[in-house]
Structure 1
């Protein structure tokens, strides 16, 4: 299936999840460092922060540091109502734009991981099709993801997503759900206890080291 079709489906699924939240849940701390659930939702919404063009402008002003650029855009979007964020995800679910050099699969990984950033601290399930996770995980372990999204020097381990039949790497085995592996690759420690195998401790140390950190994906 086309990547943009998967992105569209996941944006709509995130909109469904967000639409049912209470104001207190919107204000809950997400897994993404210093961001609330609302902040993460505003970050993922395709045009709330002005869209890709605005992101590139802010990125240049932030010294081409994607994390600083994202933080500024989210900060400037604090006034946007919750309903408008949900509407933006629905109305622009078909948007087909990705930052230069990152590829379309970056947007799939972005929406899936940020959905976990919202759902996990709220104790809500995230059930996305296997193909979505396979494509996102393959991007996360690839070279494009090293451009500010996944830390360098991943440990030499074999990653095995048991629920979606996906494997990558060489070395001691680390097994678990696709969601737990995706969060670990993005520096989130929330589901590390769900991973097992002889390589799990090496991956956990990498996540908790200086190259980890619960940062936004773009």
Structure 2
């Protein structure tokens, strides 16, 4: 792989700030906007927010029985947590995100960079369908691109999806990989790597066609 530039981010501070940003976003949305479909599977905007709330508000002791009731399927358990959290009023969800903004969640394997990436990607799952600007910081996007191509992005980016492609950001000093080029803004690269085909029209290069094929169901 080609060498990449180095970017240092205070991950804990960045995670806390992104939780505050999601809370502010929730407070700004109407009931109709909360009920709109997001970019994330079959979740509504509010259910995506519920996933982010559940990450900081679910007691560890509650997870094992929920996983058992979900047939030992972690993905199914995660969906149940998100849907349950989304049953609460949006204002209450926003307050929880603010109160627990500094909650030190560090998932195994994916770590803090995975937590930051989860917040940034799901924030865009909400903002993009609503036509809202992302306002994401380039240094944080840099950290997420490093994470998604660093071999530890389990559950985010299958290695086959990015294999034999070279990704080049057009708005920051970042590139990775060898092969057909996929170029575009860092935010669009992040969303494409995590399976959001809707952003492919914002990318350029001979590798886009191959990436499109890999994102088909």
**Secondary structure at the counterpart of residue 158 of structure 1:** strand
User: After the TM superposition, which segments of 4 or more aligned residues of structure 1 sit over 4 Å from their partners?
Assistant: 46-49
Gaps of 5+ in 1: 211-218
CA contact (8 A) 1:45 1:89 kept: yes
Q: Which residue of 1 aligns with 2:156?
A: 149
Provide Cα deviations, 1:13-68, integer angstroms capped at 9, x if missing partner: 12122211111000000000110000000111256751555346534554554321
How has the CA–CA distance of structure 1 residues 184 and 59 changed in structure 2, closer, same or farther, with 3 Å as cutoff? farther
How has the CA–CA distance of structure 1 residues 100 and 93 changed in structure 2, closer, same or farther, with 3 Å as cutoff? same
**RMSD of Structure 2 on Structure 1 (CA):** 1.9
Residue 101 in structure 1 maps to residue 117 in structure 2: no
Q: CA deviation at 1:131?
A: 0.9
More helix by share: 2
**Secondary structure at the counterpart of residue 42 of structure 2:** coil
Aligned equivalents of 1:47, 1:171: Cα separation in 2: 36
1:1-218 alignment, distance < 5 Å: 1-45=9-53, 50-51=58-59, 54-55=62-63, 58-59=66-67, 61-62=69-70, 65-145=73-153, 147-154=154-161, 155-208=163-216, 210=217
How has the CA–CA distance of structure 1 residues 23 and 48 changed in structure 2, closer, same or farther, with 3 Å as cutoff? farther
Gaps of 5+ in 2: 1-8
Q: CA deviation at 1:144?
A: 1.6
Provide Cα deviations, 1:102-161, integer angstroms capped at 9, x if missing partner: 21111000000000000000000001111100111111122221x222224123111112
**Secondary structure at the counterpart of residue 153 of structure 1:** helix
**TM-score, scaled to structure 2:** 0.88
CA contact (8 A) 1:46 1:95 kept: no
Aligned equivalents of 1:33, 1:149: Cα separation in 2: 13
Structure with greater Cα Rg: 2
**Secondary structure at the counterpart of residue 83 of structure 2:** helix
**Secondary structure at the counterpart of residue 176 of structure 2:** strand
